[in-house]
Amino acid sequence: MLVGYARVSTQDQNLDLQRDALTKAGCERLFEEKKSGKAGNKRPAFEAALAFLRPDDVLVVWKLDRLGRSLVEMMRTIDGLRRQEIHFRSLTEQFDSHTAHGRFALQVHGAMAEYFLDRNRERTMEGLKAALARGRKGGRPKALSEADLEVGRALLAAGNISVAEIAKRLGVSRFTFYSYFPQARTRSQAARKG
């Protein structure tokens, strides 16, 4: 069975082009959604399509990028389908995992994705080494400066201002505040119990 999946990123976009192409390709069942393919986003129609597929079915998309935002994510999805004996077809790129040519093209794309991931990792590591050599450490800057920490200590010692208010004055969340002042969490919990 050919099962189509169509997705547009925003409510303003229209699914008609994809729907028409998938229907013309012979898809008997269509799953559609208006949802970003951004990594981490839940895509209920996509999940439903994957759950619906059975061995020897074919998941058909109008374009490869309908599977997700990154090439690595797309290749993982296609590999997961392969392991379940489900085929994949992309109409625009003419990838078809059922043919030798399609499998080869998908493997080339997968190898490219892995290459670019590795190159990106290498560049990141080189950049971190160069920054370290100049005396800079990588990572996010600290949320609270030494002056902020002194103010926080003084306000905590005063004991008449809540942790939530101190965190608000310092411009951080309570969670961040507690990461700098773990004793404040213990004191806060003890006050609630007593």
- Please state the rounded mean pLDDT for residues 12-41: 85
Domain 2-110: which CATH class? alpha beta
CA distance 117 to 112: 9
Per-residue pLDDT reduced to its tens digit, 101-113: 887 887 787 777 7
Query: Which active-site residues does the annotation give?
Result: 9
Residue 35 vs residue 24, higher pLDDT: 24
Residue 187 vs residue 167, higher pLDDT: 167
Coil, strand, or helix at residue 187? helix
Per-residue pLDDT reduced to its tens digit, 140-180: 778 888 888 898 888 888 888 888 888 898 899 888 888 88
Q: H-helix or E-strand containing 5? A: strand 2-8
Closest of 43, 3, 50 to residue 23, by C-alpha? 3
